[in-house]
Structures are given as structure tokens and as C-alpha cells.
């Protein structure tokens, strides 16, 4: 299974926030959309960073409530691991595990075309396992 198949099921909408917006705005977006990360955009396409719940914790630990008024760019992760639609789910699982990340933006031709979360990966893998189980049961019962 490839990332393109996951995006075909879950959709391609990606929550983005401009790098100059406040940490408070980013947190509100995470809460409103019930998501764990947003892509941070800026002058450089397709993205300049990613901001996640982990970044919220780090910001509050460092600056307390004052962090809420500071730009999200001050707390985002500027080194973003991305993948393409052709990336296999096995490769993506390995990448997420190795880098200890939960959200991976999908980039095609320097355009942001989707986002895959660890939840999407787990859901896809469970679907594959269910298909394998069904096929094995069909095979055994046909004997």
C-alpha cells in the first residue's frame, strides 16, 4: 500500500498556519480541528516547518503563558520529514518509528498534497491485516 491510497481514503486537506501567527492561534486550530499538528507556511513553498502538540508543551515549559502571544515560528520544528505519494506504508512506518514523529506532510512537485499521521498508518495496517485474515480464511475453507 502507498501513501496515495491512504490520502484517497482520508482526503487531502491539510491544516496550515502562517509562520507569523501566534502560538495561541496554532493551539486553537489544533483544538478546533481535533488534530495533533499543523503545517507552518511562509515565503518558501511548500512549508517552513511543522507545529505539533509536543511543541506546545515545550513552549509553555520555556515561556509559560507568555508563549501564547509569540509567533508559532518560534516554536515550530523547522526540520520537517516529508514523504511522497509513492512512499510505501512500510517505509513510512519505519521512518516514523526511526525519527520518532507522528505526522508526515506529503509533498509532490514542491506542493503540499496531504498529511499522514501515525493514526492513518495504524488504520491502514489494520485494514491490510483484516484483508489478509479474510483471504486466509477463504483459502482454508475452500479446501
Query: Which CATH number do you get for residue 22?
Result: 3.10.580.10
**Residue range 29-47: average pLDDT?**
95
**Residue range 40-69: average pLDDT?**
95
**Residue range 86-114: average pLDDT?**
96
> What was the pLDDT predicted at 133?
77
Which residues face 2 on adjacent strands?
88
Q: b/e string for 45-84 if b means 16 or more Cβ within 10 A? A: ebbbbbbbeebbeebbeeeeeebbeebbbebbbeebebbe
**Residue range 121-143: average pLDDT?**
79
> What was the pLDDT predicted at 44?
86
Is there a contact between 97 and 79 (Cβ–Cβ < 8 Å)? no
- The number of distinct structural domains making up the chain is 1
**Residue range 4-33: average pLDDT?**
96
Task: Examine the pLDDT at 143 and tell me if it is beyond 70.
Answer: no
Range of the domain at 62: 3-141
Amino acid at each position: 500500500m502507498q501513501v496515495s491510497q491512504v490520502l484517497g481514503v482520508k482526503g487531502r486537506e491539510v491544516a496550515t498556519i502562517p509562520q507569523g501567527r501566534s502560538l495561541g492561534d496554532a493551539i486553537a486550530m489544533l483544538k478546533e480541528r481535533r488534530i495533533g499538528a499543523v503545517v507552518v507556511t511562509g515565503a518558501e513553498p511548500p512549508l517552513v516547518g511543522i507545529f505539533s502538540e509536543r511543541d506546545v508543551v515545550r513552549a509553555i515549559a520555556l515561556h509559560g503563558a507568555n508563549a501564547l502571544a509569540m509567533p508559532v515560528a518560534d516554536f515550530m520544528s523547522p526540520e520537517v520529514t516529508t514523504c511522497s505519494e509513492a512512499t510505501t506504508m512500510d517505509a513510512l512506518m519505519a521512518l516514523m518509528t526511526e525519527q520518532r514523529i507522528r505526522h508526515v506532510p506529503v509533498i509532490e512537485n514542491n506542493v503540499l498534497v496531504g498529511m499522514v499521521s501515525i493514526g492513518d498508518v495504524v488504520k491502514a495496517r489494520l485494514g491490510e491485516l483484516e484483508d489478509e485474515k479474510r483471504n486466509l480464511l477463504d483459502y482454508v475453507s475452500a479446501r
